[in-house]
Structure 1
């Protein structure tokens, strides 16, 4: 869909996230801001605005991808809790933020902060390291 970050705007998407892989019905991205170490986003491969737009079978596959990624991230970063956030007020494409948290770590016990200040960016090597940890647990 025209003007959709996940469908067409590759340059902006790549400024915010790093593609990791494709799953059953989603694409997996590592969020560049790593205040929540291991934070990822899964986006539905096709353009769809809402979870209720999917058939029951499509929704089940979407949830299965969420579960798979959540477990992979938990194992990769030894998270105490995985938070799932679907905040799509201004971006009309079905996606979920999968946010690991550790007791005593950034944001534990509170709600997800979408764009924490200051942002925490990693080196290319550090991004690759966490990507490999996540992929090895998928």
Structure 2
């Protein structure tokens, strides 16, 4: 793993675990909150604050990553659709780290998914509503990550 920025280094320390995958320009972590099964954070591997600062190579690499992640999660858990968000709001709150370009990858499900002894449902399918964290063990997180990796 080659990380060139403090934000990505912090993801490793903030209970995100090992990366799911890494490309030349991006790194993907399973998010700690799995209220939507297979939610991930996709971070640029260099310091950058805005989308307008991405190079053509970084955009091209992101498109390949996007296709790979959607295919993998569709195959692993039969996700219905995918929300991608680049939300930088909290970086501008006092006491937060410097802004760093990253995406939230949020699979959405029109049906419940039973996996590793848990039922993952999406009661707000079709809407973006905040959901409380789903408490799962690190063992279940590892099983989710491994299932996604099977299809990457």
- TM-score when normalising by structure 1: 0.82
- Deviation, 1:111, is 1.6
Aligned to 2:96: none
- Does structure 1 residue 100 correspond to structure 2 residue 85? no
Aligned to 1:122: 136
Bigger CA drift: 21-30 or 92-101? 21-30
Aligned to 2:127: 110
- Identify if the C-alpha distance between structure 1 residues 79 and 10 changes in structure 2 by more than 3 Å, giving closer, same or farther: closer
Gaps of 5+ in 1: none
- TM-score when normalising by structure 2: 0.75
- Does structure 1 residue 136 correspond to structure 2 residue 141? no
- Deviation, 1:89, is 2.0
For the residues of structure 2 that align with 1:136 and 1:10, how far apart are their CA atoms? 21
Gaps of 5+ in 2: 92-98, 112-120
Contact 1:51–1:59 (Cα < 8 Å) also in 2: no
Higher Cα Rg: structure 1 or 2? Answer: 2
Give the RMSD, CA atoms, in angstroms: 2.1
Aligned to 2:54: 54
For the residues of structure 1 that align with 2:30 and 2:150, how far apart are their CA atoms? 14
Runs of 4+ in 1 over 4 A off after TM superposition: 7-10
Matched position secondary structure for 1:48: coil
- The C-alpha deviation readout for 1:25-66, integer Å capped at 9, x for no partner, is 111100111110111111011111122101222211122212
Contact 1:80–1:102 (Cα < 8 Å) also in 2: yes
For the residues of structure 1 that align with 2:24 and 2:9, how far apart are their CA atoms? 17
For the residues of structure 1 that align with 2:151 and 2:75, how far apart are their CA atoms? 7
Report matched runs for 1:82-97 at 5 Å: 82-91=82-91, 92-97=99-104
How many residues align structurally?
A: 130
